[in-house]
C-alpha cells in the first residue's frame, strides 16, 4: 500500500465514480415503474411490458453485482500492491523498458478479461438467453474473445511500443509524435473499419437486388448521396437485436444493415433508418466526431506529458520504481474526472446530432416510417421507455425514445 498523497486521491476518485454510478443506476431503476408516456402506449402490450420490466430489473441487479465486484477488486489490487507485484514480474524477465511495459499491460489486460469473462458469459448465455436475444454459441463466444485478444495484442502492442519509443527519444515531447500516430490510426480505422475489422467477426454480403435496394438507391439519388456499397451483416448469429450503421467517408463510405433489421422492419421503415444515417453524413457529424476525438486525444496526451516525468505519479499505484507504464495507469485514473466532463459534452452534442439526423430523415423522406421503426426497435430490444433524466444526461448518446418521437411529430 502506497503512502503517496496521490494514492488516496486515486482511491477517492474511484470511490466517487462508483457511488455516483450506483446512485444513477438506482434512480434509473426507480423510474421503471413510471407511467409510460401516451405517445408510447403502442410500443408494448401488457405481456411484453411486463417482460421488458423483468429484463430491465434483471440487468440492473446484474450490473450492480458486476460493478461492485469490479470496484472491490480494483481497490484490493491497489491497497495490497497488485500493480507493484505485476511490475516486479515484468521486470524479472528483462531490463528493456518497452518489453517490461508490454508484459505489464499484457498481464493486467488479459488477467482482467479472464476474471470478468464469467460475468460476460452469464450475461450472454443466461440473461440474454432467458429473454430470447442470444443467438451466439459457446464456440463463437470464445472465438470472439481470442480474436479480441489477438487484435489488442497486435494493434495495442504496436502503439504502446511506439509511444514508449517516442518517450525515450523525445522525452516530454513524445505526445506530439504519439498524437500523430493515433490520429493516422483513427483515420485508417474510420476509413477501412468495414473492410479490415468487421470481417474478423462477421460476414458481410451486398444487399440483394429487389424492391428494398431499389428504394434505397432511389432515395440516395434523390438527396444526392453517392452510394455504391450497401451491405447486410449477419448480426443474427449473435443476437436478435437490430442495428444499422454508416462507416467511412469519401469513396470508402458504406451503409451496413443488420439482417435482423431487414427482418424486423418494413421497407419504408428501413429507408427511413437509412435516411437518418445519411443525415449524419450530410450534416458532417462523422467528420466532427472524428476531428473531436483526435483533438481530445491530443489534449489528453499533452496533459499526460506534463506529469509523465513526475515520479509521484508512477509511485501512486504502489510500484517500487517510477516508469512510463505505471504513470499511464495512474494518470488514467487521475485524469478520469476530466474525461467524464468531456464525455458529458460529447454526449450532449451527440444527442443534438441525433435530432438533426431525425429532422433530415423527416424532411427528405418521411417522419412516420422513422417513428414506427424506432418503436419497433425499442420493442424488440425491450428498451427502457422511462429513463431518469439524470441518467440520460450522464450516459445517453441518443435522446430517449419519447423525446425523439415528439421532435419528429413537431
Give the alpha-carbon dihedral of 257, 263, 267, 272, to 10 degrees: -50
Q: b or e along 130-146 (b: 16 or more beta carbons within 10 Å of the residue's beta carbon)?
A: ebebbbbeeeebeebee
- Looking from the CA of 121 toward its CB, the CA atoms found within 13 Å total 13
Nearest to 252 by CA among 281, 224, 275: 281
Average pLDDT over residues 90-94: 94
The reported pLDDT for the residue numbered 178 is: 94
If you search the block for the grid coordinates 419504408, which residue do you land on?
268
User: Which is catalytic among the residues 25, 264, 354, 358?
Assistant: 358
Q: Rounded CA gap, 271 and 316, in Å?
A: 54
The predicted structure's pLDDT at residue 2: 56
| Cβ neighbour number for residue 353 with a 10 Å cutoff | 20
Q: How many CB atoms lie within 10 A of CB 408?
A: 19
Tell me the pLDDT of the chain averaged across its residues: 91
DSSP 134: B
What ranges do the domains of the chain cover?
Answer: 5-200+284-409
Spatial contact of 91 and 100, defined as CB atoms under 8 Å apart:
yes
Please tell me which residue in 277, 340, 354, 359 is annotated as part of the active site: 277
Q: How confident is the model at residue 47 (pLDDT cuts 50, 70, 90)?
A: confident
Confidence of residue 35 (pLDDT cuts 50, 70, 90): confident
User: pTM to 2 decimals?
Assistant: 0.89
Q: Contact at 8 Å (CB) between 211 and 103?
A: no
**pLDDT higher than 70, residue 65:** yes
Let me know if 87 is a catalytic residue.
Answer: no
For residue 33, is pLDDT > 70? yes
Please report, rounded to a whole number, the percentage of residues in the chain having pLDDT higher than 70: 98
358 included as an active-site residue: yes
Between the alpha carbon of residue 77 and those of residues 12, 15, 84, the distances in Å are 15, 14, 9
How far apart CA 310 and CA 254 sit, in angstroms, is 46
pLDDT(232) > 70: yes
Report the alpha-carbon distance of residue 261 to residue 106 in Å, rounded: 37
For 367-399, what is each residue's pLDDT tens digit? Answer: 999 999 999 999 989 999 999 999 999 999 999
Amino acid at each position: 500500500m502506497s503512502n503517496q498523497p496521490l494514492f488516496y486521491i486515486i482511491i477517492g476518485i474511484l470511490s466517487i465514480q462508483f457511488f455516483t454510478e450506483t446512485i444513477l443506476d438506482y434512480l434509473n431503476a426507480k423510474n421503471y415503474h413510471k407511467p409510460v408516456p401516451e405517445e408510447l402506449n403502442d410500443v408494448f402490450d401488457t405481456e411484453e411490458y411486463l417482460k421488458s420490466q423483468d429484463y430491465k430489473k434483471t440487468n440492473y441487479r446484474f450490473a450492480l453485482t458486476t460493478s461492485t465486484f469490479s470496484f472491490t477488486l480494483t481497490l484490493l489490487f491497489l491497497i495490497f500492491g497488485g500493480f507493484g507485484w505485476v511490475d516486479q514480474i515484468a521486470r524479472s524477465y528483462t531490463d528493456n523498458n518497452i518489453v517490461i511495459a508490454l508484459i505489464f499491460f499484457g498481464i493486467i489486460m488479459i488477467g482482467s478479461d479472464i476474471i470478468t469473462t464469467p460475468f460476460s458469459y452469464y450475461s450472454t448465455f443466461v440473461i440474454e438467453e432467458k429473454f430470447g436475444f442470444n443467438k451466439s454459441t459457446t464456440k463463437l463466444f470464445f472465438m470472439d474473445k481470442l480474436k479480441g485478444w489477438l487484435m489488442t495484442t497486435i494493434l495495442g502492442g504496436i502503439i504502446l511500443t511506439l509511444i514508449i519509443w517516442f518517450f525515450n527519444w523525445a522525452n516530454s515531447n513524445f505526445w506530439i509524435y504519439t498524437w500523430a500516430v493515433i490520429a493516422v490510426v483513427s483515420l485508417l480505422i474510420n476509413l477501412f473499419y468495414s473492410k479490415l475489422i468487421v470481417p474478423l467477426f462477421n460476414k458481410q454480403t451486398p444487399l440483394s437486388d429487389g424492391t428494398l435496394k431499389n428504394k434505397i438507391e432511389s432515395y440516395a439519388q434523390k438527396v444526392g448521396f453517392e452510394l455504391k456499397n450497401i451491405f447486410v451483416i449477419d448480426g443474427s448469429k449473435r443476437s436478435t437485436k437490430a442495428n444499422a450503421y454508416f462507416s467511412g467517408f469519401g469513396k470508402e463510405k458504406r451503409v451496413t444493415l443488420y439482417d435482423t433489421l431487414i427482418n424486423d422492419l418494413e421497407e419504408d421503415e428501413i429507408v427511413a433508418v437509412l435516411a437518418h444515417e445519411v443525415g449524419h453524413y450530410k450534416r458532417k457529424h462523422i467528420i466532427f466526431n472524428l476531428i473531436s476525438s483526435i483533438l481530445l486525444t491530443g489534449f489528453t496526451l499533452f496533459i499526460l506529458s506534463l506529469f509523465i516525468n513526475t515520479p509521484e505519479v508512477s509511485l501512486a499505484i504502489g510500484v517500487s520504481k517510477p516508469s512510463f507504464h505505471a504513470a499511464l495507469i495512474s494518470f488514467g485514473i487521475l485524469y478520469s474526472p476530466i474525461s467524464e466532463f468531456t464525455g458529458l459534452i460529447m454526449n450532449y452534442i451527440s444527442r443534438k446530432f441525433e435530432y438533426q439526423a431525425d429532422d433530415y430523415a423527416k424532411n427528405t423522406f418521411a417522419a412516420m416510417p422513422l417513428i414506427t421503426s424506432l418503436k419497433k426497435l425499442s420493442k424488440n430490444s425491450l428498451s427502457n421507455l422511462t429513463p431518469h433524466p439524470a441518467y440520460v444526461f450522464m450516459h445517453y448518446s441518443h435522446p430517449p425514445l419519447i423525446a425523439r418521437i415528439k421532435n419528429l411529430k413537431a
